[in-house]
Amino acid sequence: MLPLTLPIFFLIASPISVLACEGQCIAGITRAWLGNYTSPLNTVYQDIAQQISQTLLSAERYHDVMSYLRPIQSAFEDDSYDGMESAIFPSYFHGKCQRNGVDPPGCPNPDCPVVCGTPGSLVHFYPKLRFIAYNYTRNTLGRLSSPGSDAYKRVEGAVLQASAEHRRRERERRRVPWFEYAITGAGGELVHGLSRGRNISHAWTREVESVESVKKELKEILRQTPSLLEKACGGHASEEENALPKCSWEERMKAYILTFP
């Protein structure tokens, strides 16, 4: 099985005789789109990691922060093939182009002006095909980056742990021993008197508030993923000819699609 991240120019079709895009044609085109989106998605992940690093973790090492996003990346890689295939075939492009048993001019290829499942139809309606692939990628990324998804919970857990470690290091740097004793229980004998009790209570309150603040800010950062993908694709997400200029790959994709009969 070819990896989803394989660049399009390495995807080679074997000639097969079909009247519509089937089998290898469907698999090849689906994987080509997934491979195409590897770079734009990496741009989104890098942007998100940078925001998390600068906003929540005081510029923690970039590669460490990128690793916190791995649950979203892995979930997308695991789930994307079936979803992308279904979004293209048969949700929109399906069936033969024949009308009353006759192929319209340009059908099945190279340029079939009838919506159906042939390579020529995919080429003719390429702006629609491009928008379908973009929408599927955008919606899936948005779902995985939303609270409630397993991937989101795992990212949140990793960021919270890193944030807690960062606060611990800050406490050590500021040399506030009573707080560490209170948190670990190792210095219980030092915790006495009403004044000290108030300090501990306030410290715990600040800790809870810090955790909630990280959760809220992380949610706002991850909520940007769909719009960041549109930005990475050059903006103007639509079915128009000039839409998504950085996520079009029109010339290469059309040539690849037409390698299937």
Is pLDDT of 61 > 60?
yes
What does each C-alpha distance from 251 to 84, 110, 111, 257 come to in angstroms?
20, 13, 14, 10
Lowest mean pLDDT, pick from 113-127, 156-170, 203-217: 203-217
CB 113 within 8 A of CB 219: no
Distance (Å, whole) CA 86 – CA 224 = 26
Per residue in 145-195, pLDDT (tens digit) is 999 999 999 999 999 998 888 767 666 655 545 444 454 454 444 444 444
* pLDDT at residue number 97: 86
Chain position carrying tokens 């050590």: 172
Per residue in 98-112, pLDDT (tens digit) is 888 888 888 889 999
pLDDT tier for residue 18 given thresholds of 50, 70 and 90: very low
Global pTM reads: 0.80
CB 25 within 8 A of CB 238: no
Is pLDDT of 54 > 80?
yes
* pLDDT at residue number 191: 45
* pLDDT at residue number 146: 97
**Nearest Cα to 143, choosing from 223, 39, 220?**
223
Token reading at 63: 């590669």
3-class SS of residue 175: coil
Sorted by where each begins, the domain ranges of the chain are 1-145+225-261, 152-222
* pLDDT at residue number 165: 82
- How many other CB atoms are found less than 10 A from the CB of residue 160? 17
Q: What is the mean pLDDT of the chain?
A: 83
Give me the residues paired with residue 95 across strands: none
Q: What percent of the chain has pLDDT over 90?
A: 61
* pLDDT at residue number 84: 98
Lowest mean pLDDT, pick from 40-49, 86-95, 208-217: 208-217
